[in-house]
Structure 1
Amino acid sequence: MILYPAIDIRQGKCVRLVQGSFSDMTVYSDHPVQMAQKWEQNGAEFIHLVDLDGALSGKSINSEVITEIAKTVNVPVQLGGGIRSMDTIQFYLDNGINRVILGTSAVKNPALVKEAVEKYGNRIVVGIDAKDGMAAVGGWEEVSAVTAVELALKMQDMGVQTIIYTDIAKDGMLQGPNVEAMKEMVDHLVIDVIASGGVSTLEDIVKLTGTGVQGAIIGKALYTGNIDLVDALRVAKE
């Protein structure tokens, strides 16, 4: 199982939100590039970036710091948040980002996902964020009428090869991941599922490996010191 340290960027800073709420935000670093270097030095194989301003506004906001991170580290980087056009996808893939994550577009503009997958294959990842099993969009401000599993199956049929599945209720709460929801998603799909939200202990990582997920994103727990990345990577490998 691959572990993805998360760097959430808001106004050029490295921050964490609680349950996706922009009113409940903690700034952990003014230097996201240094943070990415730190996770790489600690053994990260892949880094997960989120443009929070982008997720909220629907357009790319922190592209300067994001492309700088991609150029500075030697490990692959995936990015989500406000990516809603082919031009933006191409810009990031041309500027060092290994994989682009489409979230809101999966619900609101499936044609974009289809076009992107046809052109870029496995470099296109779909992020599905769920509230009580229903897919949420627009920086989690809005819940759709489609279930997370239904949306994932639709994306799989379109040729998407990786899904990032986030349980919003667990995100930033340090209360453990929704293991049942992750297992349900894995059981319905043949493509890779990356778990996101709530990982707060090494035991959580062990539980997630049992669900069959391909990877797990770790955010807040790394910044609070609840989890040491070196230990986490060892557990994931074991």
Structure 2
Amino acid sequence: MIIFPAIDIKDGNCVRLKQGKFEDMDVYFDNPVEVAKTWEAKGAEFIHIVDLDGAKDGKSKNFEIISEIARTVNIPIQVGGGIRTREAVQTLLDAGVNRVILGTAAVNEKELLKSLVDEYGKQIVVSIDAKDGIVAIDGWVNLSSLNSVDFVKELEEIGVQTIVYTDIAKDGMMEGPNFEIYRELMEKNSIDIIASGGVSTLEDVAKLSEMDMYGAIIGKALYIENIKLEDALEV
């Protein structure tokens, strides 16, 4: 299982939100590039980056920082947050980003998603952010009409190979992931699933690994040192 340290960027800072609420934000570092270098030095094999300004406003304020991370580290990075056009995808890939994560665009622009998957294959990842089983969009501010389990099946039919699945209620709360939804998704689909939200102990990491999850994103638990990255990589 791949461990993805998370770097969430807001106004150029490395931050964490609770349940996606911008009013409930902790700032951890003012230099996301240095954070990325730290995770690489500690053994990370992939980094997960979210442009929170992009997710909220639909356009990136942090592209220069993201492109600098891509130039600076020698491990792959995946980036999400407000990526809603073909041009935005191409710009990130040209900057050295290895995978681009679509959220709102995957819900609202199915034809765009299909054409991007046809063109870029596994470099296109879809983020499913669910609240009580319903897919949230627009930086988690609004709810769509989509059932998250049904949506995963639809994405698999389109050809998406990897998803990031976040249970919003668990995100940043340090209460453990929603193991039940991951079990259900694994039983019903063959798509690669990256677990996100609530991973707070080494026991959580071990349980996800035992379930044969493709990956797990760890955010707050790393920043408050509930989990040491080196230990998580050894699970």
Do these two structures clear the TM 0.5 threshold for a shared fold by scoring above it? yes
How far apart are the structure 1 equivalents of 2:186 and 2:139?
Answer: 24
The answer to whether residue 37 in structure 2 is matched with residue 37 in structure 1 is yes
Give the whole-Å Cα distance in 2 for the aligned partners of 1:72 and 1:200: 28
Partner residue, 1:114: 114
Give distance in 2, aligned partners of 1:39 and 1:108: 34
Q: TM-score, normalised by structure 2?
A: 0.99
Aligned equivalent of 1:186: 186
Shift of residue 187, structure 1, vs aligned partner: 1.4
Q: Does 1:23 align with 2:51?
A: no
C-alpha contact 1:196 1:217 (8 A) present in aligned 2: yes
The secondary structure found in structure 2 opposite 1:187 is helix
Q: Is 1:4–1:46's contact at 8 Å kept on the other side of the alignment?
A: yes
| One-letter identity of the residue aligned with 2:195 | A
Q: Which residue of 1 aligns with 2:230?
A: 230
Aligned length: 235
Give the Å deviation of 1:60. 2.0
What is the alpha-carbon distance in structure 1 between the residues aligned to residue 188 and residue 28 of structure 2? 37
Whichever residue aligns with residue 193 of structure 2, its letter is V
CA displacement 1:83-134 (0-9 Å, x = unmatched): 0000000000011100000001111111111111111010000000010111
Instruction: Establish whether residue 96 from structure 1 lines up as the match of residue 96 from structure 2.
Output: yes
Structure 1: runs of 5+ lacking an equivalent = none
Show the counterpart of 2:137. Answer: 137
Q: Which residue of 2 aligns with 1:83?
A: 83
Which position in structure 2 is the counterpart of 1:124?
Answer: 124
CA–CA separation in structure 1 for the residues paired with 2:183 and 2:144: 22
Structure 2 SS opposite 1:151:
helix
The aligned residue for residue 213 of structure 2 is 213
Provide, for residues 18-76 of structure 1, a one-character-per-residue CA deviation record: whole Å limited to 9, x for no partner: 00000000000000000000000000000000000000011222100000001000000
Q: Is the 8 A contact 1:60 1:88 kept in 2?
A: no
- SS of aligned partner of 2:169: coil
TM-score by length of 1: 0.97
Identical columns (%):
59
Q: Secondary structure at the match of 1:169?
A: helix
Tell me whether 1:199 sits opposite 2:205 in the alignment: no
- Secondary structure at the aligned position of 1:60 is classed as coil
CA distance in 2, matches of 1:165, 1:88: 22
What CA distance in whole angstroms lies between the structure 1 residues aligned with 2:212 and 2:155? 19
